[in-house]
Chain A
Amino acid sequence: MQKKTKTTKTAPKPTKPTAEKPDSKLGELQTTRERKTVLMQGNEAVAYGALDAGCDFFAGYPITPSTEIAEILALELPKRGGVFVQMEDEIASICAITGASLAGAKSLTATSGPGFSLMQEGIGFARITETPCVVVNVQRVGPSTGMPTSCAQGEIQQSRWGSHGDSPAIVLYPDSVKECYELTIRAVNLAEKYRTCVILLLDEVLGHMREAVSLPDMANVRVISRIKPTVPPHWYKHYDKNQKYLSPLASYGEGYRFHVTGLTHDQLGFPTNKVTEAAEMMDRLRKKITYNIRDLVQIESYQMEDAKIAIFAAGIVARAAKAAVAMARLEGIPVGLLRPLTIWPFPDEAVRKMLRDVDIVVVPELNQGQLVREIQRLVKDRSDSKLIKIQRVNGQLISPQDILSTMKEGM
């Protein structure tokens, strides 16, 4: 909750952009927290990551297996003067965090499959209006109610294509409790920087898993905040096209009386039907992602240097894959692992390189072929037989032994 600060009638003095500077007030609050090694749950790490990234607004609706995130933030946000509000459903939750963000908050919600489906329209609104916010989706087995306490990776494609219309997506995918913390901070930072709804995908097992972790001191946490406009209100353009597709963002109540709409809009934010302006808006949404692939894509390459076989896996399945790599290496089989931390935009370049370098690619995943679909898209002229697919949707994890034995059969 923010106290009223008197808005200036005159044009604000030009100041340097405030982005990429640690929030000092938050730093003071956080340094008092003990940073010793503790046994921490994935969902807990998400909640603390959100707080350390400067999130001061959470709206959500309880749903297994994401509820711990809401419960921890219900406990922690009031201590920091932030807002926690339990909404009437997931639709209201995504709308409330978008509204709060337009008023200047760093906002976040957390949900699982059924709630994520309900949020899709609101996610599209946040994307077209270029409003920063973060949606955490702790995936469970679907479709529909499915198996609420079992693990699946069924929303890899939905997180990219779930909302109607063409809109860009930034989706991050951690594989450890520590990374849940780190990628939550990164999700908030990217949302602020790219002015969009960033999605963090977790696997159910990861959300509930506990690991010994030691969180970094706040001094070592890099926090990015949206760039504020420095121009007088009558010069302000909410979607200024002269700024490499990333433009400063004013908040409600700061003297910039701008308009925001889910309709296709011009650079001021007013609705338009002009074909040139419509094309410009769509270009801007796409290019702010595609022009910044290098900043957005993160990938872990494990024992790939001399690998003839590569496993491509994300999240908890990559943990099994890493164990399988270690086991195979003991037997002298040259296997490596390529793991995307950013699944959207998809790491096309790294995957193309992998396809050039190795003879066999193994793609284990807890769905019926969502990651492998992207690999196949990039295979093109090469034979499909090089792909070994391991797919499981019964709620059980894929074990290192499963990967190892299937890989050996396919060799």
Chain B
Amino acid sequence: MANIPQRIIHEWLRHDKKFPHVWCAGCSNGIVLGSIIRALAGMNIDRDDIVMVSGIGCSSRMPVYVDFNTLHTLHGRSIAYATGIKMHKPHLKVIVITGDGDCTAIGGNHMIHAARRNIDLTVILINNSIYGMTGGQASPTTPHEAIATTAPYGNIEPDFNVCDLAMGAGASFVARTTAFHTVEVQNIVREAIDHPGFALIEVISACPVIYGRLNKKGGPPQMLKDMRDNSVPLSAAEKLPPEKLEGKIIRGVLRKEIKPEFCASYADLVKRVQAMGGEK
């Protein structure tokens, strides 16, 4: 790359406006933001054509920092707002930044229906396994038996497998990676934005200050190392027996298929109806 990475990031940030950011030291959100910007910078997309939409939560504060069209919406509803934007101006690249609570608890319904419609949105779900902004309450991805402020005796609920959920709902592009694998995040984001259909990327991330302390995960470097040591690329995982994959994060593009995209189908419908004679 011709440009120094740091400079690219600063070109794409509202660096003179809303800094310093709200994220804690050691948080993965900034790493993921860097990967997203590097992915976009290499894609030759007009910045005016990018819309970043988010809900409520730590990761959902991301849009305010980036110099795109940005929309910070209600808790859980980012995908519904994004659907409106995309349907009205299908040429815009609409990227949704969401978290585990935002997307799979309060916003679960919108996520599965957007996946079912296969509308061309790129949903980047930054999964830190906890409600960080409000101080550590359990989310649908808080692991079984993990500690949260609303699960002080250990979480008795089973957790969601976010990628399985998206695939079950019909998402045409599903991938998982971690904040440790920054180049992989960058590459997958690029592939997802290019994919003509609903794309969901789960980025496993670290919340050392809240989740890490509650569950004694050993601070930011240790949590990043854990992502490295506990994850297996899909290509390697396919060759391993199931017992070796117990507790491992499987990384990579888990599904990529071409299906009719919603905005394209709607455009076809409009064409068909107008060919029938427009006014009744």
B46 touches A7 (CB 8 A): yes
Closest residue on chain B to residue A268 by CB atoms: B17
B69 touches A122 (CB 8 A): no
Interface presence of A221 (CB below 8 A)? no
A3 to B49 CA separation, bound complex (whole angstroms) = 12
A80 to B277 CA separation, bound complex (whole angstroms) = 11
Given known contacts A3-B91, A253-B49, A91 and B73 CB-to-CB distance under 8 angstroms:
no
Interface presence of B267 (CB below 8 A)? yes
B71 touches A96 (CB 8 A): no
CB distance from A89 to the nearest CB of B (A): 7
Given known contacts A95-B74, A95-B77, A258-B69, A78 and B92 CB-to-CB distance under 8 angstroms:
no
A261 to B72 CA separation, bound complex (whole angstroms) = 5
Stretch at the interface among A101-109, A143-151, A205-213, A336-344: A101-109
Interface presence of A279 (CB below 8 A)? no
CB distance from A41 to the nearest CB of B (A): 16
Residues of chain A contacted by B263 (CB below 8 angstroms): 1
A81 touches B74 (CB 8 A): no
The 8 A CB mask of B35-71 against A (1 = contact, 0 = none) is 0000000000011110101000000000110011111
Stretch at the interface among B78-86, B184-192, B217-225, B252-260: B78-86
Residues of chain B contacted by A258 (CB below 8 angstroms): 69-70
Closest residue on chain B to residue A30 by CB atoms: B279
Residues of chain B contacted by A102 (CB below 8 angstroms): 71, 81, 84-85
A168 to B102 CA separation, bound complex (whole angstroms) = 28
CB distance from A84 to the nearest CB of B (A): 9
Residues of chain B contacted by A56 (CB below 8 angstroms): 88
CB distance from A54 to the nearest CB of B (A): 13
Interface presence of B113 (CB below 8 A)? yes
CB distance from B266 to the nearest CB of A (A): 7
A1 touches B270 (CB 8 A): yes
The 8 A CB mask of A247-282 against B (1 = contact, 0 = none) is 000001111011111110000101100000000000
Residues of chain A contacted by B77 (CB below 8 angstroms): 91-92, 95, 122
Interface residues on A, range: 35 or more
B92 touches A96 (CB 8 A): no
A253 touches B91 (CB 8 A): yes
In the complex, the number of residue pairs spanning A and B with C-beta atoms less than 8 Å apart equals: 162
A98 to B78 CA separation, bound complex (whole angstroms) = 11
Interface presence of B87 (CB below 8 A)? yes
A199 to B92 CA separation, bound complex (whole angstroms) = 29
B270 touches A259 (CB 8 A): no
- The residues in B between 168 and 206 inclusive whose CB is less than 8 angstroms from any CB of A are none
A105 touches B88 (CB 8 A): yes
- The residues in A between 1 and 47 inclusive whose CB is less than 8 angstroms from any CB of B are 1-4, 7, 29, 32-33
A252 touches B274 (CB 8 A): no
Given known contacts A78-B273, A83-B88, A104-B88, A254 and B83 CB-to-CB distance under 8 angstroms:
no
**Choice from A2, A33, A75, A271 contacting B89 with Cβ under 8 Å:** A2
A99 touches B83 (CB 8 A): yes
Interface presence of A100 (CB below 8 A)? yes
Interface presence of B235 (CB below 8 A)? no
CB distance from B166 to the nearest CB of A (A): 15
**Choice from B73, B85, B109, B278 contacting A100 with Cβ under 8 Å:** B85
Question: Can you name 20 A-B residue pairings with CB atoms under 8 Å?
Answer: A4-B91, A33-B279, A79-B274, A85-B266, A92-B80, A92-B83, A95-B110, A96-B81, A98-B84, A100-B85, A104-B88, A105-B84, A105-B88, A122-B77, A252-B51, A252-B69, A252-B85, A253-B92, A257-B48, A271-B72
8 A-B pairs besides A57-B88, A102-B81 with CB distance below 8 A are: A2-B89, A2-B91, A79-B273, A79-B280, A81-B270, A83-B88, A99-B71, A125-B74
Binding site for A on B (CB under 8 A): 14, 17-18, 46-49, 51, 53, 63-64, 67-74, 77, 80-85, 87-92, 109-110, 113, 263, 266-267, 269-270, 273-274, 278-280
Binding site for B on A (CB under 8 A): 1-4, 7, 29, 32-33, 56-57, 59, 75, 78-81, 83, 85, 87-89, 91-93, 95-105, 107, 121-122, 125, 252-255, 257-263, 268, 270-271
